[in-house]
Chain A
Amino acid sequence: IMLTQSPATLSVTPGESISLSCRASQSISTNLHWYQQKPNESPRVLIKYASQSISGIPSRFSGSGSGTDFTLNINRVEPEDFSVYYCQQSNSWWTFGGGTKLELK
């Protein structure tokens, strides 16, 4: 199963609210998870099963979607949110999307 993330790069200013997209090549129900990776750090999980929150993750991060189309929303981007975001599916083996880089405008 292939995951396509868009856009590849998103330039925003702090305070903006944004949506990142992840599209699966076939239906994966809600077996889709989101990660954030800051430079020179390991990824950390933000959202599990498309929309379920993770303990310790700020509430400005939320997820939605099912089937083939998924969205990660960040409500009012903070300076520490500039990083790369990956989606990952677990419906059939495990694969990651190519990532979306969130950068400062």
Chain B
Amino acid sequence: QVQLKESGPGLVQPSQTLSLTCTVSGFSLSSYGVIWVHQPPGKGLEWMGGIWGDGSTDYNSALKSRLSISRDTSKSQVFLKMNSLQTEDTAIYFCTRCNNYDYFDYWGQGVMVTVSS
């Protein structure tokens, strides 16, 4: 069955870089896009960026200067790196599979990241 699972540090210091990994199973990264979505505590969902089956990437313009998404298809892993973290980047970070470039049909459990010194 399709599964996605995020992993990474729960605490990051301000101005540092966040590195997260999404490990997928049940589908090929060459066939589906994987998107990162974040959700600040008590707030709504925001699309951050993603990587598609052909390896191309798209980024939310508000985050583009700080964000990088890559993958290792042999390990079925997608990576997120975001630099210059601030306290407002404190959020739950989800990875999700994008179906037909349109909707998000499978989600990881999410990982809570706190930006604090």
Total count of chain B residues near the partner, CB < 8 A: 19
CB-based contact B47/A94 at 8 Å: yes
Contact of A43 among B60, B102, B107 (CB under 8 A): B107
Q: In the bound complex, how far is the Cα of B15 from the Cα of A27, in angstroms?
A: 39
Task: Using A42-B107, A94-B47 as known contacts, list a sample of 10 further A-B pairs with CB atoms less than 8 Å apart, ordered by residue number in A.
Answer: A33-B102, A35-B45, A42-B109, A43-B107, A44-B107, A45-B104, A45-B105, A93-B58, A97-B44, A99-B44
B52 interface residue, CB < 8 Å from A?
Answer: no
Report if B27 contacts A (CB, 8 A): no
Interface status of A90 (Cβ within 8 A of chain B): yes
Assign chain A's interface to a size class: 20 to 34
Distance to closest chain B CB from A33 (angstroms): 4
Task: Report the separation of the CA atoms of residues A94 and B109 in the bound assembly, to the nearest whole angstrom.
Answer: 20
User: A48 contacts which of B96, B101, B102 (Cβ < 8 Å)?
Assistant: B102
Interface flag for B72 (CB, 8 Å): no
Contact A43 B44 (CB under 8 A): no
Q: Does B35 contact A (CB under 8 A)?
A: yes
Given A42-B108, A43-B45, A99-B44, the answer on whether A90 and B103 have CB atoms closer than 8 Å is: yes
Q: Describe B's contact surface by its main secondary structure.
A: strand
Nearest residue (CB) in B for A91 is B102
- A25 CB to closest chain B CB (Å) equals 16
The reply to whether the CB of A26 lies closer than 8 angstroms to some CB of chain B is no
Determine if B110 and A31 form an interchain contact, defined as CB atoms under 8 angstroms apart.
no
- Check if B46 is an interface residue, CB within 8 A of chain A: yes
Does A61 sit at the interface, judged by CB under 8 A?
no
Partner of A49, one of B35, B102, B104: B102
A96 contacts B103, C-beta separation under 8 Å? no
A48 B103 Cβ-Cβ under 8 A: yes
